[in-house]
């Protein structure tokens, strides 16, 4: 369990520790979400590669605040900050869905943002790849906060390099396939990352599974490329007919047909825009937010997760911060599922925040 002397005893009035200096009686981790640290869930910042390798956290949050590859509504460069801020919780939270306090079981840190600058796609992708590779080579699972969906190409490529020679499969939640060859002649846009991943050899097409596709894109020639390269697709109509849980079970089996390891990519526009309006390319008719959160628990609970991203949160269009809240919960569901797996395997707890001062 967490060190109650160091971190205080909680955030409820009945737990108020009597007789302590009111200036120091609560650790920053236990202060209200809107006070103190701006890291994800007020977790420790461990941004240096050497420090990450020395401490070997289980999970490290990485920001990829880049949207220069967007084709429609920009603004997802502000997504990582919005996702980090989208919580009312503080301290050692408790997952009612999984019956676990995740930060008491796995060590999670915030590794900060990749040092991107605007207007330079190639440089941004290079520094995102380096940042994610640094985290993955330190033994942590990188959970990357986007940013537009182009960041999946450098992020998943870095994870594939870190886990080689073990093979990587990808489960991709999205309204759109993101398998275009180019966007107005640009090869690295938010509509092309999945084709780049497959063409680069980072992941095989047959181990790439997409869930939630709908709407009016891609065109027939892109669908033919997907079929030719063996991609597995599950349209929203299938989820409507069979139910999300059955579809996700098939997606897991398909992604693990050969590979041992899974990278999970979540474009928040897989959720219906009534529940997640702040995206770059909203597409009506999507998943319910509860379906997506359950699906993430289902995937992470069944596979060996080695990387994840949550992308396309665009705060300028995010009414009442709804989209950022859904994205934040996507991350929390993955973290909680990882913690439950550690507990259920009988492994010792590794509480988060033990390096904080």
pLDDT, tens digit (0-9, with 9 covering 90-100), for 272-281:
999 999 999 9
Mean pLDDT, residues 264-275 taken together: 98
- 74-107 pLDDT tens trace: 999 999 999 999 998 888 999 999 999 999 999 9
How far is residue 307's CA from residue 299's CA, in Å, rounded to a whole number?
Answer: 12
How far is residue 253's CA from residue 58's CA, in Å, rounded to a whole number?
Answer: 25
- Report how far Cα 322 is from the mean position of its chain's Cα atoms: 17
Total-model pTM: 0.92
Mean per-residue pLDDT over the chain, rounded = 92
- Report how far Cα 311 is from the mean position of its chain's Cα atoms: 7
Helix (H, G, I), strand (E, B) or coil at 232: strand
For residue 21, the model assigns a pLDDT of 84
Q: What is the dihedral of CA 339, 308, 112, 178, to 10 degrees?
A: -160
How many angstroms separate the first and last alpha carbons of the chain?
Answer: 17
Max CA distance (Å), the chain? 71
Mean pLDDT, residues 292-309 taken together: 98
Q: Structural domain boundaries of the chain?
A: 1-30, 31-344
Helix (H, G, I), strand (E, B) or coil at 59: strand
Mean pLDDT, residues 238-257 taken together: 97
* pLDDT exceeds cutoff 50 at 9: no
How far is residue 157's CA from residue 56's CA, in Å, rounded to a whole number?
Answer: 21
Sorted by sequence, the CB contacts under 8 Å of residue 153 that are 6+ apart come out as: 125, 188, 192, 193, 196, 197
Strand partners, 261: 168, 304
Number of H helices, E strands in the chain: 11, 8
Mean pLDDT, residues 325-351 taken together: 98
The region of weakest confidence among 36-40, 139-143, 225-229 is 36-40
How far is residue 2's CA from residue 303's CA, in Å, rounded to a whole number?
Answer: 28
- 144-176 pLDDT tens trace: 999 999 999 999 999 999 999 999 999 999 999
CB 60 within 8 A of CB 138: yes
For residue 3, the model assigns a pLDDT of 39
* pLDDT exceeds cutoff 70 at 5: no
Structurally, what CATH architecture does the domain formed by 31-344 represent?
Answer: 3-Layer(aba) Sandwich (3.40)
Q: What is the dihedral of CA 288, 291, 293, 296, to 10 degrees?
A: -130
Strand partners, 258: none
Strand partners, 144: 62, 309
**Bigger pLDDT: 326 or 88?**
326
CB 41 within 8 A of CB 89: yes
* pLDDT exceeds cutoff 70 at 357: no
For residue 30, the model assigns a pLDDT of 86
User: How distant, in Å, are the alpha carbons of 11, 151, 152, 155, 187 from that of 193?
Assistant: 42, 8, 6, 10, 9
For residue 93, the model assigns a pLDDT of 95
Mean pLDDT, residues 177-198 taken together: 92
CB 259 within 8 A of CB 252: no
For residue 133, the model assigns a pLDDT of 98
For residue 19, the model assigns a pLDDT of 67
* pLDDT exceeds cutoff 80 at 8: no
* pLDDT exceeds cutoff 50 at 180: yes
- 302-316 pLDDT tens trace: 999 999 999 999 999
* pLDDT exceeds cutoff 90 at 113: yes
**Bigger pLDDT: 19 or 297?**
297
């Amino acid at each position: 369990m967490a060190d109650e002397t160091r971190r205080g005893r909680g955030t409820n009035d009945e737990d108020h520790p009597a007789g302590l200096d009111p200036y120091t009686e609560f650790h920053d981790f236990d202060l209200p979400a809107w006070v103190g640290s701006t890291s994800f869930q007020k977790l420790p910042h461990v941004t240096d590669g050497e420090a990450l390798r020395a401490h070997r956290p289980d999970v490290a949050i990485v920001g990829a605040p880049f949207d220069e590859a967007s084709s429609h509504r920009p603004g997802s460069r502000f997504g990582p900050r919005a996702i980090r801020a989208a919580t009312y919780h503080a301290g050692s939270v408790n997952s009612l869905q999984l019956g676990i306090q995740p930060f008491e079981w796995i060590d999670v840190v915030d590794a900060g943002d990749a040092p991107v600058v605007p207007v330079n796609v190639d440089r941004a992708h290079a520094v995102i790849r380096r940042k994610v590779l640094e985290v993955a080579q330190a033994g942590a699972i990188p959970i990357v906060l986007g940013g537009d969906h182009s960041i999946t190409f450098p992020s998943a490529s870095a994870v594939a390099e870190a886990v080689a020679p073990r093979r990587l499969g990808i489960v991709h939640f999205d309204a759109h396939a993101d398998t275009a060859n180019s966007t107005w002649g640009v090869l690295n846009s938010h509509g092309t990352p999945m084709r780049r991943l497959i063409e680069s050899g980072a992941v095989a097409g047959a181990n790439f599974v997409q869930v939630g596709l709908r709407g009016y894109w891609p065109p027939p020639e892109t669908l033919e490329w997907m079929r030719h390269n063996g991609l597995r697709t599950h349209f929203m109509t299938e989820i409507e007919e069979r139910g999300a849980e059955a579809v996700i079970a098939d997606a897991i089996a398909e992604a693990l047909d050969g590979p041992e390891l899974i990278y999970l990519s979540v474009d928040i526009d897989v959720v219906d825009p009534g529940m997640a309006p702040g995206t770059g390319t909203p597409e009506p008719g999507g998943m319910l937010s509860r379906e997506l959160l359950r699906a993430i628990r289902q995937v992470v609970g069944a596979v060996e997760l080695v990387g994840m991203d949550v992308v396309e949160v665009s705060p300028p269009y995010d009414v009442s911060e709804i989209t950022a809240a859904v994205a934040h919960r996507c991350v929390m569901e993955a973290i909680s599922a990882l913690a439950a797996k550690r507990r259920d395997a009988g492994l010792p707890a590794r509480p988060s925040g033990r390096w904080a001062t």
